[in-house]
């Protein structure tokens, strides 16, 4: 270091300083400015990309929230529709059961009425036949000569043997 100080020349220092300052100015004008501009552009591009990514992230979160909301609404609507469909089904089934019970009741009542009518008709016809047979027997008994009680009984037995119910 002592040697450097002993060989120091003020002229050489001046020219070297002047060249260094000139080189720095030339580099600033022609190299550093384009490099700094490129670095700034790159920084702005990166910042824009980060901002876009952040916006996209927020938009995705918003879309996810909307999707969740829409899904919840769709599920609620589906549940409501299913509930309504079940209620309609239950109502249709209960109405059909009530109608079937009404129809069965009507059919049974009609059958009972028909049976009653048939029963009355059968009884009426039976009474008519019994009355006819009674009159027929009475006629035959009156017409025949009834000499004794044994003859009367024999005649009644004979008539009863000849009679067939229709």
Domain boundaries of the chain, sorted by first residue: 36-162
pLDDT of residue 28: 80
The CA distance from 155 to 148, in Å, is 11
Q: How many CA atoms lie within 13 A of 80 on its CB side?
A: 6
Tens-place pLDDT, residues 108-117: 999 999 999 9
Average pLDDT of the segment spanning 11-16: 89
pLDDT of residue 10: 86
The CA distance from 45 to 39, in Å, is 10
129 neighbors 165 (Cβ within 8 angstroms): yes
pLDDT of residue 149: 72
H-state helical runs in 27-148: 33-143
pLDDT of residue 142: 66
pLDDT of residue 96: 93
Tens-place pLDDT, residues 15-39: 999 999 999 888 888 888 788 888 9
Between 163 and 48, the more confident residue is: 48
The CA distance from 123 to 45, in Å, is 113
pLDDT of residue 42: 94
Tens-place pLDDT, residues 151-160: 777 777 777 7
pLDDT of residue 143: 66
In this prediction, residue 11 has a pLDDT band, given cuts at 50, 70 and 90, of confident
> Cα dist. 149→139, 156, 160 in Å?
17, 11, 17
Average pLDDT of the segment spanning 85-114: 93
Tens-place pLDDT, residues 106-153: 999 999 999 999 999 999 888 888 878 887 877 776 666 555 677 777
155 neighbors 146 (Cβ within 8 angstroms): yes
Burial 131-143 (b: 16+ CB within 10 A, else e): eeeeeeeeeeeee
For residue 140, what are the contacts with CB-CB under 8 A and spacing of at least 6? 155, 159
User: 97, 76, 94, 75: which is closest to 86 by C-alpha?
Assistant: 94
């Amino acid at each position: 270091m002592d040697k450097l100080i002993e060989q120091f020349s003020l002229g050489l220092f001046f020219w070297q300083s002047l060249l260094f300052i000139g080189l720095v100015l030339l580099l600033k004008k022609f190299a550093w400015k384009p490099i700094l501009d490129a670095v700034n552009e790159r920084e702005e591009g990166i910042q824009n990309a980060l901002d876009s990514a952040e916006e996209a992230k927020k938009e995705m979160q918003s879309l996810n929230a909307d999707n969740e909301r829409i899904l919840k609404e769709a599920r609620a609507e589906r549940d409501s529709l299913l509930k309504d469909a079940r209620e309609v089904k239950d109502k249709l089934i209960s109405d059909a059961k009530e109608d079937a019970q009404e129809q069965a009741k009507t059919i049974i009542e009609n059958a009972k009425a028909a049976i009653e009518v048939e029963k009355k008709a059968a009884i009426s016809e039976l009474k008519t036949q019994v009355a006819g047979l009674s009159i027929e027997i009475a006629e035959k008994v009156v017409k025949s000569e009834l000499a004794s009680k044994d003859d009367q009984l024999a005649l009644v037995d004979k008539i009863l043997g000849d009679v067939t119910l229709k």
